[in-house]
Amino acid sequence: MSESAFMGFVHRRRRGAELFLLVLSLVVGVGAYACVGIGTEGKVPTDIIRYGGWLTLLIVACHVTIRLTAPYADPVLLPVVSALNGLGLAMIHRIDHARNTDYASSQLLWMTLGVVLFIGVLWLLRDHRRLQAYTYTSGLAAIVLLLLPLVPGVGREVLGARIWIQVGGLSFQPGEVAKLLLVVAFAGYLVVHRDALALAGRHVLFVDLPRGRDLGPILVMWLISLGVLVFQNDLGSSLLFFGLFLVMLYVATERPGWLVVGTAMFIGGAYAGYLAVAHVRVRVEGWLDPFGHASAAFQLIQGMYGMAWGGLVGRGLGEGSPYLTPLSWSDFILPSFGEELGLTGVMAIILLYALIVERALRTALVCRDAFGKLLAVGLGVVFALQVFVVIGGVTRLIPLTGLTTPFLSAGGSSLVANWAIIALLLRVSDHARRPPPEMLAAESDDADATQVVSLR
């Protein structure tokens, strides 16, 4: 982990660039909102000033917070998130208009909550390494959250998946928050135990397999994931949690052997799930031959029709019929974009997600402490996997699973959790890009060594 190449390089703050990109992102978000009005009613929505103003206020608040609390943070993340969130709001509003629902206002409310949390995280958490103290707390909390939907009276089953809790009138998907807590727990755990886990065991072909006695943690995680699959019928989250753990384990230990073991376990688990869980079988069959299972794969087929109908440039916002697809405002919001903004719009959205992941991984690369590295990798990978699983699912690349599309889908828990993830990423990246005081002192000490000291 020699960072000598970076030693002479000082990151600039680039807050001005961020502001410029933010203006662009607001043009996209508010512009999309205006287009929806023109497409559906033939005129710019009357509340465009109020809506645009509120959105601008939220984004400016984020920007100011970053300037004050994380001046060296990555300048691209917030604009990308702002653009995605704005697009999502516009599309939800567009579907609302066709279906006479009002998800957009609650989504704006949730976004506000998300922004408050974002600002809160940046203000209160001045050093991400403090999270390491909560390794087991957050791990425990994550497991409790995952178990909550199974508690009678609190849990609620929606569309075959038992991943919701309802308290009073508020419903919440605890899995969304759990994934954030899991990243913290994994990072904290692995940073301490990575040396032991990295010890090589048997050598098979070209890889060193891990030692049998170190298989404990991965087995536990595997069982938890299987539990999520079997008891909650949630294929997406199951895959997400296990994939996340596997990747973080690999990064922490630098042992590809873990990937071999993990992939084998995953395939075994997935096959067992396929055999044991009817819900999974239905999804796989609908994926292999959607038109042969027209009623089970109705959603998928409708989404595909919508995307095909959108073609290269789309029907235009408000000019298509995305509302024909069930859940076109949440799980299937991407096909809605495909229909109205075309392949062009879908590619832009996928690239925006890719940018978030790229920024997260870049942060991990330049980060000087192992915990921060793992945190950034974990957050980036959670994002990449989630985007892949949900977009791949609705475009029939892989079997359909119920995950939300980050920042686009209507859904409070997901939105709030993702804003918190971005806040954490910015915190780590601020730390990573900030010129280290040691550099000024021109100490020849290894960066790693100083950090190990600071951990204990």
Partner 1 sequence: MNKPIRNLSVFCMVLFLLLLANATFLQYWQADTLSSLSAHPDNRRIRDLQFSRERGAILVDGKAIAQSVKSKDRYDYQREYPQGREYAQITGYFSRDYGEGGIEATQDAILSGSDSRLFVRRVIDLVGNAETRGGNVSLTINAKAQDAAYNGLRKLGNNVQGAVVAIEPSTGKILAMVSNPGYDPNVLASHDFAAAGKAKEKLQQAKLQPMLNRAIGLRLPPGSTFKVVTTSAALKAGRTPSSKVPGGRSLDLPLTTKNLQNENGESCGGDKITLTRALEVSCNVAYGWLGLKLGQDKLRDEAEDYGFNKRWFTDLDDDTNRQATSVFPSDLDKPQTALSAIGQFDVAATPLQMATVVAGVANHGTVMKPYLVDEVQSPDLEPLDKTEPQTLTKDAISPADAAELTDMMVDVVDKGTGTTAQIPGMKVAGKTGTAQSAPNRPPYAWFVSFAPADDPKVAVAVLVQDAGVDRDEISGSGLAAPIAKAVMEAVAGQ
Is residue 357 part of the contact set for partner 1 (CB under 8 A)? yes
Q: What tokens does 349 get?
A: 């959205």
Return d(Cα 438, Cα 5) in angstroms, integer. 15
Is residue 196 part of the contact set for partner 1 (CB under 8 A)? no
Report the chain's terminal Cα–Cα distance, integer Å. Answer: 20
Residue with tokens 């994926």: 287
Is residue 392 within 8 Å of residue 380, measured between CB atoms?
no
- Out of 29, 149, 342, 399, the only residue in the binding site for partner 1 (CB under 8 A) is 342
Planar angle of CA 384, 388, 393, nearest 5 degrees: 160
Of 235 and 357, the one with the shorter C-beta distance to partner 1 is: 357
- The CB-of-260 to partner 1 minimum distance in angstroms stands at 14
DSSP 434: S
Of 100 and 124, the one with the shorter C-beta distance to partner 1 is: 100
Contact region for partner 1 (CB under 8 A) — 61-69, 169-177, 383-391, 415-423? 383-391
- The CB-of-438 to partner 1 minimum distance in angstroms stands at 19
Count residues contacting partner 1 (CB under 8 A)?
50
Q: What tokens does 1 get?
A: 């982990």
User: 290: part of which helix (H) or strand (E)?
Assistant: none
Return d(Cα 183, Cα 186) in angstroms, integer. 5
Return d(Cα 370, Cα 128) in angstroms, integer. 11
- The CB-of-186 to partner 1 minimum distance in angstroms stands at 14
Contact region for partner 1 (CB under 8 A) — 34-42, 140-148, 156-164, 251-259? 251-259
Interaction with partner 1 in 274-313: which residues (CB under 8 A)? Answer: 291, 294, 301, 304-312
Of 69 and 336, the one with the shorter C-beta distance to partner 1 is: 336
Task: Please compute Rg for the chain using Cα positions.
Answer: 22
The phi and psi torsions of 207 (rounded to 5 degrees) equal: -120, 150
Of 114 and 322, the one with the shorter C-beta distance to partner 1 is: 322
Contact region for partner 1 (CB under 8 A) — 10-18, 224-232, 234-242, 372-380? 372-380
- The CB-of-392 to partner 1 minimum distance in angstroms stands at 6
- Out of 90, 346, 420, 428, the only residue in the binding site for partner 1 (CB under 8 A) is 346
Is residue 353 part of the contact set for partner 1 (CB under 8 A)? yes
Residue with tokens 């075994």: 268
User: 209: part of which helix (H) or strand (E)?
Assistant: strand 207-210
Return d(Cα 427, Cα 391) in angstroms, integer. 28
- The CB-of-9 to partner 1 minimum distance in angstroms stands at 15
Return d(Cα 164, Cα 171) in angstroms, integer. 7
Is residue 254 part of the contact set for partner 1 (CB under 8 A)? yes
Interaction with partner 1 in 37-66: which residues (CB under 8 A)? Answer: none
Collect all residues with Cβ–Cβ distance below 8 Å to 164 and sequence separation of at least 6. 149, 155, 156, 157, 158, 171, 172, 173
Q: Give residue 347's Cα distance to chain centre.
A: 18
Is residue 365 part of the contact set for partner 1 (CB under 8 A)? yes
Site of interaction with partner 1 (CB under 8 A): 1, 247, 250-252, 254, 291, 294, 301, 304-312, 320-321, 324, 338-339, 342-343, 346-347, 350-351, 353-354, 357-358, 361, 364-365, 370, 373-374, 377, 380-381, 384, 387-388, 391-392, 395-397
